[in-house]
Structure 1
């Protein structure tokens, strides 16, 4: 039996790569049912000040096709507590590159108060959508 019943993670998942796959695989190893929030194009534009290369609808299709994912939802805002109120997950998985970030310290405090754990998963070094974009430019 896995330690958690309902897990949740989010991301942009633009230019899907092995780092994305690693997060999803490691998350699913720890929960029975994994929900993945995929950031909308508008949300990414708002907080990263750039548009994803792959449109939201297509990124959703890609994530739906991953065997570790049980359900995909659109992430229209970055408020993880609101996501919990809607989805009632008991664990949230986050890349460990966010550990100690003030945003996730606050999220962790909020979610811990309602019995939700945050599990930081190892970030895959040497790969990111930005790195992929830079390699394509060469």
Structure 2
């Protein structure tokens, strides 16, 4: 069995999120998703998420391409999460390109292209301008 793991904030869930999760799932038999905690999201983005962590966990868990979700507390714990879930492949968006290459000693590391012209930040900016 080939297990794929990925991570993200998944705030204001959009088609880009669904696309990368479906592509990640196609690379293995199971997809495990780490959803960033509110605290981690704030440290990564400099703003609180629109949706609280439990809502984001529930949204991602409700997707048919996702087999399991957990709360990601720290970027520095990726190796521990990979080992905990026996992941064979780590998938990240290409905006993280190279950042996790050091984990290639315990799993395959792939950076998938993001969906063009869509981001949570841009969606929030559009909504705020209305």
Tell me the TM-score normalised to structure 2 length.
0.93
The alignment of Structure 1 onto Structure 2 pairs a total of residues equal to 128
1:49 Cα deviation from its structure 2 partner: 2.2
1:42 Cα deviation from its structure 2 partner: 1.0
Tell me the TM-score normalised to structure 1 length.
0.87
1:52 Cα deviation from its structure 2 partner: 0.1
1:23-38 matched pairs, under 5 angstroms: 23-38=20-35
Aligned-partner SS, 1:31:
coil
Unaligned stretches of 5+ in structure 2?
Answer: none
1:48 Cα deviation from its structure 2 partner: 2.3
Aligned-partner SS, 2:60:
helix
Is the deviation greater in 12-21 or in 75-84? 75-84
Match of 1:119 in 2: 110
**Runs (4+) of structure 1 moved beyond 3 Å?**
none
1:84 Cα deviation from its structure 2 partner: 1.6
1:76 Cα deviation from its structure 2 partner: 0.6
Aligned-partner SS, 1:23:
helix
1:70-85 matched pairs, under 5 angstroms: 70-79=67-76, 80-85=78-83
* d(CA) in 2 for partners of 1:120, 1:93: 6
Unaligned stretches of 5+ in structure 1?
Answer: none
CA RMSD of the aligned region, Å? 1.2
